[in-house]
Amino acid sequence: FLATPGLDQIPQLVAQAESAGLTVEFGSFGTPATVPVGLSLSAYRVVQEALTNTIKHANADRVDVRIRYLAHSLEVEVTDDGAGRAATSASAARSGFGQVGIRERVAVHGGELELGPRADGYRVRARFPLGVGPAAEPTGPATEGLAK
């Protein structure tokens, strides 16, 4: 019986990237929150795919992996110092299922995704909402000025 991979296994992904020759900085920030199993798996898969793309396509030397526990969301971010070719190479254009999978995993949780080349490499940042649903208190302009 194998446990479902999740946030707790991201250090193993970091170790695999290091064994592939990358210099990896890893950090977890904020107070770890209880994260549903499905969301934890999706966050793990986003990091896994981003690291795989970095190894296969980016020609990078360094990669930075961060997990951020924010007030109402979980954020995972992978940035590298490569050429950003993952989004533009012919091989990525032909097979691009990894980025499609990332988009689908983030969308199923109502999250936000930012991915693409930057001046100094490539970034994949996914933010997953925590504690949302029918019981969650609404926030934003529609509730401003309402008595609590």
Q: Tens digit of pLDDT for each residue in 88-131?
A: 444 444 456 889 999 999 999 999 999 999 999 999 999 999 97
pLDDT at 131: 79
pLDDT at 1: 62
Choose among 28, 132, 16: nearest CA to 76.
28
Choose among 105, 119, 1: nearest CA to 50.
105
pLDDT at 95: 53
CA-to-CA dists, residue 51 to 12, 24, 121, 126, angstroms? 12, 10, 13, 14
CA-to-CA dists, residue 102 to 83, 106, 138, 141, angstroms? 20, 6, 27, 30
pLDDT at 132: 55
* pTM of the predicted model as reported, rounded to 2 decimal places: 0.82
CA distance 78 to 125: 6
- Higher pLDDT: 14 or 91? It is 14
